[in-house]
Amino acid sequence: MNRSGLIFLSVILFFGCNQMVEEGVSKKDLERDVELITDFGTIIIRLSDDTPEHRNNFIRLVNMELFDGVLFHRVIDEFLVQTGDPNTRPETEEGASFEPDLDYMVPAEFTEDLFHRRGAVNAARSDNPARASSSSQFTIIQGRVYNDSTLAIAEGRINDWLRENKLVNNREYSSWLKVRERLIAERPDSDSITVAQNMIEQIAERELAGFTPYTIPAEHREVYKTEGGAAHLDQNYTVFGVVLSGMEIVDRIAGLETDEHDRPFDDVRIITARMIDRR
């Protein structure tokens, strides 16, 4: 898998309270902000108390100095900048693997008040039914300004994902999908493929009968239409913080020229990340 994509260090889903996430987090840390000193300047982030699992995990990684030296390895102008992969540190990116105890994901924490406005900090993630987050990779939303038409498109994408996620979490539906895939591979002319497809459609119809589409709240719509953001990510990726200062640095990073994998040709790193007293 190319490192410029969504690279995830963990393969084991981690749910509930875990002492590992709390370790290295002091009560004073909960009242501090995060300072990211980059090659282009300083970005200050405030973590949300409404997402305690993500907040504590992020603080712990800052205190471990895990983010020191990592690249902004994925950059898409008018969308986001992504960082947090320890394997992009200078001492590890040439082939060695970073091997701290990071064999977990962080449970999704969706809250209506946290959305993908410009400056939002969210957790990257793999494609998993629980929408659990990467243990370390995160993005800062640069985004773009919306109008009513583009918000309607974003709302449609949100609900497409929510419907798909609802189905994927249905074991009967997932089982029939596997049956159909196996039949297509092994017996492509079999009438059983039609039977499997009919079952898939029946389960989907039943499962989605009571589905209530998500509607972007009016106050969020106004922010998206004035400040901008990435509305289509709402309810699918956990937002756990916001940039307090340094969005001009984010804009500069987002404007870098990139290769076909969205990796900047010129390296830009987090020189150091640390907890600082609130100003």
Are 28 and 78 part of one and the same domain?
A: yes
Residue 15 pLDDT level (bands cut at 50, 70, 90):
very low
Work out the average pLDDT over 252-275: 96
pLDDT of residue 13: 37
Work out the average pLDDT over 105-111: 94
Q: What is the pLDDT of residues 214-230, one digit of tens each?
A: 999 999 999 999 999 99
Q: Which residues contact 230 (CB under 8 A, 6 or more apart)?
A: 79, 80, 116, 120, 141, 143, 144
Domain presence at residue 219? no
This prediction has a pTM of: 0.84
Domain presence at residue 198? yes
Q: What is the pLDDT of residues 84-96, one digit of tens each?
A: 999 898 876 555 4
Work out the average pLDDT over 186-209: 93
Q: What is the pLDDT of residues 49-87, one digit of tens each?
A: 999 999 999 999 999 999 999 999 999 999 999 999 998
Cα–Cα distance, 224 to 277 (Å, whole number): 30
Cα–Cα distance, 14 to 107 (Å, whole number): 7
Are 165 and 256 part of one and the same domain?
A: no
Cα–Cα distance, 116 to 122 (Å, whole number): 8
Are 55 and 133 part of one and the same domain?
A: yes
Are 183 and 90 part of one and the same domain?
A: no
Domain presence at residue 135? yes
Are 130 and 244 part of one and the same domain?
A: yes
Are 244 and 118 part of one and the same domain?
A: yes
Domain presence at residue 164? yes
Give how far the C-alpha of residue 179 lies from the chain's centroid of Cα atoms, to the nearest Å.
Answer: 31
Domain presence at residue 222? no
- For residues 89 and 244, the model is more confident at 244
Q: Average model confidence (pLDDT) for the chain?
A: 89
Of 139, 141, 145, 120, residue with least CA distance to 223: 145
Q: Give yes or no for residue 264 having a pLDDT over 80.
A: yes
Are 57 and 169 part of one and the same domain?
A: no
Are 158 and 138 part of one and the same domain?
A: no
Domain presence at residue 271? yes
Domain presence at residue 54? yes
Cα–Cα distance, 236 to 255 (Å, whole number): 25
Domain count across the chain: 2
Domain presence at residue 265? yes
Are 108 and 25 part of one and the same domain?
A: yes
Backbone angles phi, psi at 166, to 5 degrees: -60, -40
User: What domain range includes position 251?
Assistant: 19-145+227-277
pLDDT of residue 4: 40
pLDDT of residue 104: 86
Are 43 and 130 part of one and the same domain?
A: yes
Cα–Cα distance, 235 to 159 (Å, whole number): 9
